[in-house]
Amino acid sequence: MTIPAKLPHPPRYNDEEKMSQEDWEEYFANRKKLDKPISQEETEALLLKGTTLLDKKDEEEFYKVTALIPMPPAWAKAVKDVHGFKMVSNWNLYEAKKVFPDEF
């Protein structure tokens, strides 16, 4: 995976996060894999599956399933600004990238 020449804006309030070459490669591989629009029906199906997984106390699988749902743009930007790119790396940022194209 190649890293684009222009990286996204750094987190606003997290100066501690240092992204290595491997971190950036993983981040952009996740962007390619995860950042996709999904329909309302798909969202509802993923939420239903997620609640079933929580009922079974399978938190790890719950996070994998719900991460496929596009994160709301303002929430994604806030999480990135406070916690850094690694925190949002495994989430669908499709909608956030439309609203904040230079942030992700």
Predicted local distance difference test score (pLDDT) of residue 34: 96
| DSSP conformation letters of the chain | -PPPSSPPPPPSS--S----HHHHHHHHHHHHHH-----HHHHHHHHHHHHHHHHTT-HHHHHHHHTTSPPPHHHHHHHHHHH-HHHHTTS--HHHHHH-TTT-
Q: What is the pTM of this model?
A: 0.89
Cα–Cα distance, 78 to 72 (Å, whole number): 10
| Sequential pLDDT tens for the chain (104 residues) | 788 989 999 999 998 889 999 999 999 999 999 999 999 999 999 999 999 999 999 999 999 999 999 999 999 999 999 999 999 999 999 999 999 999 99
pLDDT for 32: 95
Q: Which of 50, 10, 3 is nearest to 31 (CA)?
A: 3
